[in-house]
Amino acid sequence: MGRKLLLEHADVPGIETFDVYRKHGGYRSVEKALKTMSPEEVVEEVKTATLKGRGGAGFPAGMKWSFIAKPEGVPRYLLCNADESEPGTFKDRYLMQYIPHLLIEGMIVSSYALGANQAYIYIRGEYMFVLRIVEKAIAEAYEKGFLGKNILGSGFDLDLSIAPGGGAYICGEETALIESLEGKRGNPRMKPPFPAVQGLWQCPTVVNNVETLATVVPIINMTAAEYTKIGTEQSKGTKLISAGGNVERGGVYEIELGLSVEEFIYGDEWCRGIKNGKKMKALVPGGSSVPILPAHLITTTANGDTRLMSYESLSDGGFASGSMLGSGGFIVFDEDQCIVRNTWNFARFYAHESCGQCSPCREGTGWMEKVLHRIETGRGNMRDIDLLADINKKIEGNTICPLGDAAAWPVAAAIRHFREEFEWHVTNPEEAVKRNYGMLKGVTA
């Protein structure tokens, strides 16, 4: 049984209420931080814990905090990125739905560290039912004196509210999120200036993922020294993993970083293997944007080491034979799944979600979708496969935000590892159409 730092009490009945949460040790980190630590000490603690951003990019949270500008008389803001839209990822919803006070607690401590007196949670609009749960929890926290003026007599003030999106994947990109929170279209901004200098309403702003902010709570409670005893050399602590696709038991699991991927997929405590007794064909370990890996490369690295659920092990081998932990969205494919069909599906997603600001992404994602659709529906030719690689190169690195890269990587990886399947679609068009006939229904392209 792995240690649970975030979801330890997630199953306790009534844990979504302040009283039950408090009874199970809730809000201790607020007392500890506000009464016994300086904001700088909190930042230092999170830095020492080497907490990596849990949204997908894995950027060290403590370092991000230390970049925040502190001009005199200018307000600072903490924004929680709850726009969770990366296909395969649904851990933040779980956390907010079942244990909303953990996020609020983490945000109080984090705001204190940053010197922010106003914080917002930006949650995707489709999670309106979760917004209502969190909003209720926020109201309770105000009532109990953990939000508002002079929290616990410390002199620290914090206002927190939650705002919904309107259905746009791009708003998970931090500058697009800021634009959206200003009431505009979610077009990412050019960086620099970085949000830490000019963010919300041009004020210094930090944007952190839900799980990142929640993880601040156990770090403060147990100290960074204890926290860093969990995990591997470069990946400390625990991570929420959302498992979906063809696994026996999909869902959200908290794992100690360093668990073997094989154990996670097949272990009784976790996914319990592939549905219907089938074999695993491939896996995407970090949400749809990260490279897909064939089964043999997911359980062991190219040098034959056991593949572990950690930042460094999942990216071992680079993109040639590795992938990324990303958001921790595990998408598992059984032996009957068609890689071309799935690659097209993901390409359609990115074409749909491109904000349209940069031509390489706006045009390129659409091209890729069309070319993949052509191959998928038995109308492709061999040149199309190279054309995809060519479009890929023209998108990657040529856009304001990483959505372009996120769209290019899965296509490149699918061709890298499953080229013969793309070729099979070209040489066996009729069979390809027959095999995937179901997918042609409801096609909007």
Partner 1 sequence: MKIEITEQKRPVLSEEAKAEIQRVIGHYPEGRQKSAILRVMHIVEEEAGGWLSPDTMDMVAEILSIEPIEVYEVATFYTMFNLQPVGKYVFEVCRTGPCMLVGSDNIITYLENKLNIKVGETTTDGMFTLKTAECLGACGYGPMLQCGEEYHEYLTPEKVDELIEACRRGEIKGNKVV
Regarding 161 and contact with partner 1 (CB under 8 A), the answer is yes
> Interface residues for partner 1 in 83-102 (CB under 8 A)?
84-90, 93
Q: Specify the residue, 15 or 243, whose C-beta has the smaller distance to partner 1.
A: 243
DSSP, collapsed to helix, strand or coil, labels residue 251 as strand
Q: Cα 343–344–349 angle (5° rounding)?
A: 100
Site string for partner 1, 355-384 (x = CB under 8 A): x-----------------------------
The residue from 337, 416, 424, 435 that contacts partner 1 (CB under 8 A) is 337
323 near partner 1, rule: CB under 8 A: no
Are the C-beta atoms of 85 and 172 separated by less than 8 Å? yes
Which residue of 211, 353, 369, 376 would you call a contact of partner 1, by CB under 8 A? Answer: 353
Tokens linked to 76: 């600072």
Q: Which of 175, 246, 310, 323 binds partner 1 (CB under 8 A)?
A: 246
96 or 102: whose CB is closer to partner 1?
96
Give me 105's structure tokens.
């607690």
Site string for partner 1, 196-235 (x = CB under 8 A): -----x----------------------------------
CA–CA–CA angle 78, 135, 222 (5° rounding)? 55
Range list of H helices, 196-244: 210-222, 224-227
Task: Say whether residue 25 binds partner 1 (CB under 8 A).
Answer: no
Taking the C-alpha atoms of residue 374 and residue 425, their distance in angstroms, rounded to an integer, is 10
Q: Residue from 274, 331, 375, 411 that binds partner 1 (CB under 8 A)?
A: 331
Per CB under 8 A, the segment of 37-45, 49-57, 177-185, 211-219 that binds partner 1 is 177-185
- Copy the structure tokens of residue 25: 């040790």
Between CA 314 and CA 285 the distance in angstroms is 8
Q: Does 244 bind partner 1 (CB under 8 A)?
A: yes
Contacts with partner 1 by CB under 8 A: the residue count is 64
Distance CA 385, CA 114 (A): 49
Determine the 3-state secondary structure of 283 from DSSP.
Answer: strand
Binding piece for partner 1, criterion CB under 8 A, among 33-41, 43-51, 238-246, 294-302: 238-246
- Annotate each residue in 248-267 with x if it binds partner 1 (CB under 8 A) or - if it does not, as one string: --xxx---------------
Q: Is 236 near partner 1 (CB under 8 A)? A: no
Q: Does 333 bind partner 1 (CB under 8 A)?
A: yes
What residues between 113 and 132 interact with partner 1 by CB under 8 A? Answer: 118, 120, 124-129, 132
DSSP one-letter string for 59-99: -BHHHHHHT----TT---EEEEEE---STT--HHHHHHHH-
**Is 255 in contact with 2 (CB distance < 8 Å)?**
yes
CB of 160 to partner 1, least distance (A): 9
The minimum distance between CB 328 and partner 1, in angstroms, equals 12
- The contact pattern for partner 1, residues 281-320, with x = CB under 8 A and - = no contact, is ---x---x--------------------------------
The number of beta carbons lying within 10 Å of the beta carbon of residue 17 is: 15
Instruction: Tell me if residue 180 falls in helix, strand or coil.
Output: helix
| Among 169, 264, 270, 409, contact with partner 1 (rule: CB under 8 A) | 169
Q: For the chain, how many helices (H) and strands (E)?
A: 20, 9
CB atoms within 10 A of CB 404: 24
Residue 410 preceded by cis peptide, ω within 30: no
* Sequential DSSP letters for 379-414: ---HHHHHHHHHHHHHHTT-SSSTHHHHHHHHHHHH
The residues that touch partner 1, with contacts defined as CB under 8 A, are 84-90, 93, 118, 120, 124-129, 132, 159, 161, 163-169, 180-186, 201, 242-247, 250-252, 284, 288, 329, 331-334, 337, 341-342, 345-346, 349, 352-353, 355, 438-439, 441-442, 444
